[in-house]
Structure 1
Amino acid sequence: MSLLISSRLRGFGLAILLPFTGVAQNVVPGASPVVPVQQWFHLDPTTDKVMGVSAQRTYNELLKSRTSTPVVVAIIDAGIDTAHTDLKRLLWTNSREIAGNGQDDDKNGYVDDVHGWNFLGGKDGRNVDVETYEDTRMLAKLKPLYEGKSRTAVPTAKRAEYDLYQKVKSSQASKIAENTTQYESLSENYRLTEAGAENLRQALNVPRLDTATLHRLRPTDPNLLRAVLSLDTNLRSSGYPDLETVLKDMKEGMDQSKSLLDYSLNPTYNPRATIIGDDPNNVADRLYGNRDVHGPDPSHGTHVAGIIGADRTNTLGILGIANNVRLMAVRAVPNGDERDKDVANAIRYAVDNGASIINMSFGKYYSPQRAAVEEAIQYAEKKGVLLVHSAGNESQDIDTNVEFPSPVYLSGKRIPNMITVGATARLNDNQMVAEFSNYGKKNVDVFAPGHQIYSTLPGQEYGNKSGTSMASPVVTGIAAVLKSYFPKLTAEDMKRIILQSAVVYHTKVLMPGTKKEVDFAELSSTGGLVNLYQAVQLAARQTP
């Protein structure tokens, strides 16, 4: 899984002293009072002037007189905080399983799988948290065979594998260099910002540097006043409530880079061997793992779950896109790259336990057991299950640099029950496409909001995350609404309606990773941004 350090951190080096250079303020004019102000992606492009998916307008105008049926949505991810107030009522519950009795009551091979299953767990209750990248694992496997050898010294039949070794060796070196630089930069920024924050707290005699405090303070010292005004603008523009949260995010980003260097990019690191003890290459093995769907770090999956279906009936927190879902947690994505075996088994588990839609906010660029994953996708296709997959966060054209699971089978046939999703930002300007988002005229189907998306976090908290990981559950939520209100729709129907109803824009946008402006419509096969209002209208016209 590609984790994305928040783009809101950009511009916060010496934040107290320097003008802000980050993203636009996360305040939405014209928002409905029932939508938390941070959830801009629920709003309507025409009415609210932000590039949302018109969810609130859809409920107000199109769905208020219709009835819905529950839809099971599986979330293959790092885990979900099942105790979160905005999620717990909506959790999928296996009615055939008696919780906590240590028995496989429904005889499906998974003991006490009450809310889902964890394919990253050991029988003793331990869990894999941080994992290696796939190219790191390939490097460990191939290095003893090819290191120090020239291509001409390798037998002809093995030269393709030799070339693969050179490729993963290069990508590994690039990632190590990138994360070393990032760690050093974040560490220095963190040190300077922390020192500046403490100096400002002392000068102002306040315990915290939050926006409410900064907004009311007007010190007489002109230098101090400039610092207060600059920081207040900085925080409000980036959607942070206080500088202490900025420091927390900086520390998390710093720790993430350090973890990548110590573990995910370390060929000798292999937690699976001692925790799960299986053969990760044996894709026929399906009965392993444990019942812990929370896992060591459910931040990512909890955020995804809230986007799809956070409780719309309570008066707390946020609103999910869909209003009648059952969220099934399937833990198969570590902090690092997921294993093909786990992905295949997670898809099969979700299908066998009644999921109509599966959200897959993960991806990687090497897939050693690709055939096993594709067999599971074909199984989902036969059972009528829609898969929604994030396009990736590397600013790459995935038509030429394929991300897995690929939207195309090894046979060359396009997968009819999969939607691949890129990420957009708030405004219809040249930065509408999120700078990190992958794209592709063939392999990305559609775009959805994925920048500064406000959703649930573990421990009854809420916050912003950015990534195509956030765009994918927006589309999953739309699919869940369609299936809920039009239950006869098949997986292919849902895909067709979502793609046909996407609103095409010809805005000149910055191609991710470049300063080049291109037509937004050229970055995906539809050229469009998903829209729930248009999708429901189309479904209503086409469904008896």
Structure 2
Amino acid sequence: MFFKKCVFRLLCLYTFGLFGAFQSQAQSSQWFHLDAKTDSVLGISTDRTYRELLSNRKPTPVVVAVIDGGIDSTHEDLKRILWTNPKEIPGNGIDDDKNGYVDDVHGWNFIGAKDGRNVQYETAEVTRQYARLRPLYEGKKRASLKPAQQKEFDQFVKYKTEVEKKRAEYQEQYQSYSTFSSQLVTIIDGLKKALNVSKLDTATLRNPATDNDFVKKAAAALYEMTSAQGFGQAEDIQSELKRGLDDLKAKAEYAYNPDYESRSIVGDKPDDVNETAYGNPDITGPDPLHGTHVAGIIGADRTNNLGVQGVADQVRIMAVRAVPDGDERDKDVANAIRYAVNNGAQIINMSFGKDVSPQRKAVDDAMRYALSKGVLLIHAAGNDNKLLDTTASFPSDRFIDGSAIPNLITVGAITSKNNEGLVASFSNYGRKTVDVFAPGAAIYSTTPSNGYDNLSGTSMAAPVVTGIAAVLKSYFPKLTYSDLKRIIEKSAIVQNRQVLRPESNDLVDFKDLSKTGAIVNLYEAVKLAEAEEAASAAKKG
């Protein structure tokens, strides 16, 4: 009887779309490499580009920094392409190159301690601000405060309301999906037993070897769910649910918990933005899933016939760990950018962001520093299905003084659907704030321990663009950061079509969702770079 109740609840949750919270639109192929003309998929034409345009050109290695949560440096598809500090002797405990960081062989970790410990979970920035103001204003009445304090009191009330609301929401969601997950396990185990199989792949679910009508119906329901998500077996749904549950738990227990504090591990002064000598050389950290996936999109080894292929074939990935499970700190982001620039990165991928930035000037100054050194920054637009033109999000696309950041590209995400569902439902957007769109849903790439999996997010779209920038810089080394940005945006393919605005049923012009109204394309970018190179040569000749 309980098995039947679980099946009924599973069907109800699926019918009402609640399972979509964990949906990855999984598929095994790297669709983002495909070509609209030859494959009828709005990928970036990677394979076609190498085959038709780059086969006779000689590339040079390009250093790309990935500021993220860590990278699995032992991954079979990444270890060959990691940046290695040529002046640092591994493991000798000495700052050989005198750059301020001991044993930074493949990069640096700004959220680690000198004793080797690491920050994994962090609070949201809004939670940190609430915790900062709580001792000053908890229990106070606005009318009793001096006018100078009332503005800060209003911030305190705003932060408190948001933190308490979000914590309650995530706790409720966690409980709900925990129940769903346990019931799904019961269904899967029950079907395995009834069908006498060790796993429930789609072939088994589609044609179950049984005469039991209920088991047939249960198998059909699970088959529908499994195949609709693009999974090969029902157990994949369990893995996806676990990942989602872990994320919900982290938000409920840590991100919006004002009493949680992990920064003491690092041993620095968190509010001192001028402090740089902290951290450790552990570029992997306790959970390198996100950063490993991002690194693979940019440059997973294209020569070893293993796993997947990245966009760029001559890239050296510099790992800079500054993004925990929770909101990154402005101080760490600023130091990460400066470290990358000072150690030779020509392009920096930044797949992170948050809603509040108390030390914004430090990040602004670091981005200005990158600009002065000619380094291109590529940033994920965010996954809150928000209009960024009217919503604060950091790092911003503008400096504090309101001027545009000329060396920054902000990237939204598309799916593989060549229809009105083209724009990813989670993607942020904005005609004034988002530059381009790129593939970001069901992106198959590297994961820790020599794994491979699909992940979705603008975090995946940004490294697609970073990979394009790296290819251009590698095969056309004279291109400056401004050339790279201009070529990427100018060559992006404009979409004259109606699409669903993220997380709504409203049809809008795709062109209204970003500055270019276009999707990046490596083939077109290389063609444009070639044309400009030829024109320049002709002019000189």
TM-score normalised per structure 2: 0.93
Tell me the equivalent position of 1:404.
394
Matched, 1:328 2:318: yes
1:58 and 1:192 mapped to 2: Cα distance? 47
Counterpart pick for 2:146 among 155, 174, 178: 155
Counterpart pick for 1:298 among 288, 305, 315: 288
1:231-242 aligned within 5 A: 231-242=222-233
Letter in 2 for 1:365: D
Letter in 2 for 1:346: A
Query: Aligned pair in 2 of structure 1 residues 282, 18: CA closer, same or farther (>3 Å)?
Result: closer
1:447 and 1:17 mapped to 2: Cα distance? 31
Contact 2:24/2:456 (<8 A) preserved: no
1:13-28 aligned within 5 A: 14=10
Cα drift, residue 147 of structure 1: 2.8
- Could you list the per-position Cα deviations for residues 360-417 of structure 1 after superposition, in whole angstroms to 9, with x for gaps in the alignment? 0000010011000010000000001000001111111111112100010001110000
1:15 and 1:344 mapped to 2: Cα distance? 47
Is 52-61 or 197-206 further displaced after alignment?
52-61
Contact 1:15/1:193 (<8 A) preserved: no
1:13 and 1:53 mapped to 2: Cα distance? 40
- Could you list the per-position Cα deviations for residues 323-352 of structure 1 after superposition, in whole angstroms to 9, with x for gaps in the alignment? 110001000000000000000000000001
Is 50-59 or 293-302 further displaced after alignment?
50-59
1:99-498 aligned within 5 A: 99-214=90-205, 217-273=208-264, 275-498=265-488
Query: Aligned pair in 2 of structure 1 residues 441, 334: CA closer, same or farther (>3 Å)?
Result: same
Is 199-208 or 56-65 further displaced after alignment?
56-65
Counterpart pick for 1:77 among 32, 51, 68: 68
Query: Aligned pair in 2 of structure 1 residues 12, 351: CA closer, same or farther (>3 Å)?
Result: farther
- Could you list the per-position Cα deviations for residues 104-137 of structure 1 after superposition, in whole angstroms to 9, with x for gaps in the alignment? 1111111100000000110100000001110000
- Could you list the per-position Cα deviations for residues 242-285 of structure 1 after superposition, in whole angstroms to 9, with x for gaps in the alignment? 22222122123223222222212111211111x11111110100
Segments of structure 2 that go 5 or more residues without pairing to the other structure are 1-6, 537-541
Cα drift, residue 220 of structure 1: 3.2
Contact 2:109/2:280 (<8 A) preserved: yes
Contact 2:195/2:209 (<8 A) preserved: no
Contact 2:168/2:252 (<8 A) preserved: no
Contact 1:435/1:512 (<8 A) preserved: yes
Indicate the SS of the match to 2:10.
coil
Counterpart pick for 1:38 among 26, 29, 39: 29
- Could you list the per-position Cα deviations for residues 9-41 of structure 1 after superposition, in whole angstroms to 9, with x for gaps in the alignment? xx99726996796679766xxxxxxxxx52111
1:142 and 1:26 mapped to 2: Cα distance? 43
2:164 and 2:519 mapped to 1: Cα distance? 36
1:12 and 1:405 mapped to 2: Cα distance? 45
2:39 and 2:208 mapped to 1: Cα distance? 32
Indicate the SS of the match to 1:14.
helix
Indicate the SS of the match to 1:428.
coil
Counterpart pick for 1:505 among 485, 491, 495: 495
Contact 1:17/1:230 (<8 A) preserved: no
- Could you list the per-position Cα deviations for residues 448-487 of structure 1 after superposition, in whole angstroms to 9, with x for gaps in the alignment? 1111111000011100111110111011001101101111
1:157 and 1:501 mapped to 2: Cα distance? 51
2:488 and 2:144 mapped to 1: Cα distance? 52
TM-score normalised per structure 1: 0.92
Q: CA RMSD in A?
A: 2.0
Counterpart pick for 1:532 among 502, 517, 522: 522
Letter in 1 for 2:299: G
Query: Aligned pair in 2 of structure 1 residues 308, 20: CA closer, same or farther (>3 Å)?
Result: farther
Letter in 1 for 2:33: H
Contact 1:16/1:230 (<8 A) preserved: no
1:500 and 1:225 mapped to 2: Cα distance? 54
- Could you list the per-position Cα deviations for residues 277-299 of structure 1 after superposition, in whole angstroms to 9, with x for gaps in the alignment? 11111010001100100000000
2:11 and 2:182 mapped to 1: Cα distance? 12
Cα drift, residue 212 of structure 1: 4.8
Letter in 2 for 1:390: A
| Identical counterparts, % of pairs | 56
Contact 1:317/1:462 (<8 A) preserved: yes
2:293 and 2:248 mapped to 1: Cα distance? 21
1:216 and 1:310 mapped to 2: Cα distance? 38
- Could you list the per-position Cα deviations for residues 494-533 of structure 1 after superposition, in whole angstroms to 9, with x for gaps in the alignment? 1111111111113222211322111111011111111111
Query: Aligned pair in 2 of structure 1 residues 389, 17: CA closer, same or farther (>3 Å)?
Result: closer
Counterpart pick for 1:98 among 89, 92, 98: 89
